Chains A and B, each alone.
Chain A
Amino acid sequence: MNDAEALIETRGLVCGYPGREPVLRGLDLTLRPGERRGLVGPNGSGKTTLLFALMGLIKPSEGEIRLFGRAMTGPKEFAAARLRLGFLFQHADDQLFSPSVLDDVAFGPLNQGLSRAEARRRAEETLELLGLSDFADRVPYRLSGGEQKLVALATVLSMRPEALILDEPTTGLDRETKARIVDILNGLDIAVLAVSHEPDFLSKITNRLYSLRDGRLVESTVEPHAHVHVHAEGGLPHSHDD
């Protein structure tokens, strides 16, 4: 564990929805530069709630959130911190709204105050990095689900975030797109906090896995273990790619 200033830190986070028991009950979490953490948990365990609280989209009822060393006390603090975080939504079509892919990828950089020429260059560079240069003039909502996800990732990476927050990044994707996302993420030198219900995927892009149990984080370990196969190739050496 290094002593660098934490990018993301929560203490005793309690968060939930009116009329129900809170889903997060005193959650502590720290993400430092270079760390990659994965969070597994079943549907409804509060994974998305945690991420939304971190981005300031949901107000926790108790507890403290610190981003980049600053206490997040109100919308103003969150607005400043969001410019340094890259949040990938579960559904790419919630994230893409511009008439062209290039416009969408440039949206974040323009909001960060880059000039039009700089934002365009940044967007083009990011698309090239992800191998999406041919998509620049396409209409985002006409793309396939996998293409949309990659473009959504580009819209976030073009902001050069200091930490990536990924909400179920593989939902509804085929094996090929998943592999591409793993490659992209592993090629980046950037802190990652990812939630998913797919431990196999998470173990590929993160180096520490946690589960959300009873509204708190519990570290889980990945160990080889015996299991039953429902496919004929079960007896051969293999990996669980999806």
Chain B
Amino acid sequence: MSDLEAPLSQGSGPIHRLDPRARLLAMLFFSIPVALARSDASALAALGFGLLTLTLARPAPGLILRRLLAVNAFTAFLWVFLPLGGQGEALFHLGPLVYSREGARLALLLTLKTNAAFLAVTSLVGTIAPQDLGRALQALGLPEKFCHLLLMAHRYLFVIQREFRRLLTAAEARGFKPRTDGHTYRTYAWLLGMLLVKSWDRAERVHQAMLCRGFNGRFHSLAEFSYGARDTIFLMLAGLASAAVAGLSILEKTA
């Protein structure tokens, strides 16, 4: 199953039984202190909450590992470039280059924060089925246009992906093999151009088909949203975790 099909939303962990609106609110509470966190302790607390939500979401381990790898491919660069460019106490020397303690600390902080935020988004928002996400965002008062854009982007990404595969297969069926030459670049440019045109047409037809079935900008879904005690408890938990992350940052600053 491709990631575009929102495989996480089809799970059956405890988090899937939470109201999508509660999951979105929890994410909102949590994301602000995590983004602002400056201390290792608060970043660790954030990671703790991220791991907790992950266990509640019970995703397929392979899927999460694959996504974690993708995210940490970026943080790996931080570990290379931040300490090498920075000043301060040297941790060790790489020939003429200094690998600084301060830079490494910063890279660690960013890695912790990135992974904490990633785990929370994946388990809180990634577990909401696309059509429920649109409705939940609308219910929380976000503009309809915004929700519309989000859902359509999701739907069209899939269309574009499929269209590109089809074009590429057709090219390969006629003996196209990518190389490092003008012919390859030209072919890719044409494929991309064609992809754009076809996706546009396709998107228009999908939209027309939706209009024909009475779509008027407002998304509905069959799922029942029911906010209950379970959701309140979870929101309080998310609030506490957010407060802990924020509090630990402030403590460190004042200490």
Contacts and interface: CB of A to CB of B under 8 A. Distances in A.
A57 B207 CA distance: 10
Nearest to A78: B211
B148 interface: no
Chain B contact patch, size range = 20 to 34
A156 B223 CA distance: 21
Contacts of A52: 208
Interface in B1-41: 5-6, 9
A106 interface: yes
Given A97-B206, A99-B6, A103-B131, A57 B211 contact: yes
Interface stretch (A19-27, A32-40, A83-91, A186-194): A83-91
Nearest to A110: B220
B130 interface: yes
A98 B131 contact: yes
A236 B209 CA distance: 44
B222 interface: yes
B214 A139 contact: no
Given A103-B222, A116-B222, A119-B222, A91 B205 contact: yes
A156 B206 contact: no
A108 B130 contact: no
A95 B209 CA distance: 5
Contact of A155 (B131, B155, B213): B213
A3 B131 CA distance: 44
A95 B212 CA distance: 9
A107 B213 contact: yes
B215 interface: yes
A150 interface: no
A99 B213 contact: no
Contact of B5 (A87, A99, A107): A99
Contact of A156 (B162, B211, B213, B220): B213
Using C-beta atoms within 8 Å of the partner chain, give the interface range for chain A.
Answer: 20 to 34
B67 interface: no
A112 interface: yes
Interface string B213-233: 111100011111000000000
A49 to B, nearest CB: 13
Contacts of A87: 209, 212
A82 B211 contact: yes
Contacts of B5: 99, 139
A126 B234 CA distance: 39
A159 B214 contact: yes
A55 B209 CA distance: 10
Contact of B206 (A94, A111, A123): A94
B3 to A, nearest CB: 14
Question: For B9, B131, B158, which residue has the most chain A Cβ atoms within 10 angstroms?
Answer: B131
A111 B215 contact: yes
Nearest to B210: A97
Contact of B130 (A56, A99, A111, A120): A99
Given A94-B205, A94-B206, A97-B206, A103 B216 contact: no
B235 interface: no
A102 interface: yes
A57 B213 CA distance: 12
A116 B225 CA distance: 11
B205 A89 contact: yes
Nearest to B212: A87
B198 interface: no
Choose among B155, B202, B210 the residue with the greatest number of A CB atoms under 10 Å from its CB.
B210
Nearest to B205: A94
With a 10 A CB-CB cut-off, give which of B131, B162, B210, B212 has the most chain A CB atoms.
B212
Nearest to A120: B222
A55 B211 CA distance: 9
Contacts of A99: 5-6, 9, 129-131
Nearest to B221: A103
B26 to A, nearest CB: 23
Given A82-B211, A99-B9, A116-B222, 14 more contacts: A56-B211, A57-B208, A79-B216, A85-B212, A89-B205, A89-B208, A97-B209, A97-B210, A99-B5, A99-B129, A106-B222, A107-B213, A112-B214, A120-B222
5 contacts: A55-B208, A99-B5, A103-B221, A107-B215, A116-B222
Interface of A: 52, 55-57, 79, 82-83, 85, 87, 89, 91, 94-95, 97-99, 102-103, 106-108, 110-112, 116, 119-120, 123, 139, 141, 155-156, 159
7 nearest A-B residue pairs (beta carbon): A111-B214, A110-B220, A108-B213, A94-B205, A87-B212, A95-B209, A83-B214
